[in-house]
Amino acid sequence: MLDLIKLIRDVLLADATITAYVGTRIYMEGKFVGNTENDYPQITIAVLDGPTDSLTDDYYADLRINIWAKGSGCRTEAGLIAKQILINIDKKSYLANDPIVYQLWKSNNIPLWEEDTKVFHRVLTFDVVMAGHGGNL
Amino acid sequence: MDVKVDIKGVGETINKIQVFNDIAYSELGQAMFDSVNDFINDAKYFAPVSAYGSHGNPPGYLRDHITGRVISKIRGVIIIGRIRSSAKYSIFQEFGTTKHRAQPFMMTAFNKNKFKMYGRFKKAMQTAIQQSSVGRYYGGGAVTKQGPSGTSETTLFG
* Interface confidence: ipTM more than 0.85: no
pLDDT the model gives residue B76: 64
| Residue from A29, A54, A122 to probe the interface with B (highest B Cβ count within 10 Å) | A29
Whether A112 and chain B come into contact, CB under 8 Å, resolves to yes
Residues of B in contact with A124 (CB under 8 A): none
What φ, ψ does residue B86 adopt, rounded to 5°?
-90, 0
> What is the tens place of the pLDDT at every residue in B10-45?
888 888 888 888 888 889 999 999 999 999 999 999
**Given an 8 Å threshold on Cβ–Cβ distance, is A121 in contact with B99?**
no
Model confidence at B130, pLDDT cuts 50, 70, 90, reads confident
β partners of residue B145: B153
**Given an 8 Å threshold on Cβ–Cβ distance, is A48 in contact with B99?**
no
Q: How many CA atoms lie within 13 A of B13 on its CB side?
A: 5
| Residue from B95, B107, B117 to probe the interface with A (highest A Cβ count within 10 Å) | B95
β partners of residue B156: B142
The beta strands (E) that lie in A10-100 are given as 26-28, 42-52, 59-70, 92-95
pLDDT the model gives residue B41: 94
Residues of B in CB contact (< 8 Å) with A are 91-92, 95-99, 101-102, 104, 107-108, 111-112, 114-115
| Residue from B94, B97, B98 to probe the interface with A (highest A Cβ count within 10 Å) | B98
**Given an 8 Å threshold on Cβ–Cβ distance, is A51 in contact with B115?**
yes
CB contact set of B86 (below 8 Å; sequence gap of 6+): B65, B66, B67
The whole-angstrom distance between residue B78's C-alpha and the CA centroid of its chain comes to 11
How many C-beta atoms surround the C-beta of residue B54 within 10 A?
Answer: 16
**3-state DSSP call for residue A94?**
strand
Residues of A in contact with B97 (CB under 8 A): 114, 117, 119, 121
Quote the CA–CA distance of A11 and A5 in Å, as a whole number: 10
Predicted TM-score (pTM) of this structure: 0.76
CA dihedral defined by B21, B84, B92, A4, rounded to 10 degrees?
A: -30
> What is the tens place of the pLDDT at every residue in A11-39?
899 999 999 999 889 988 776 677 777 88
Buried b (16+ CB within 10 A) or exposed e, B65-98: bbebebeeeeeeeebebebebebeebbbbbbbbb
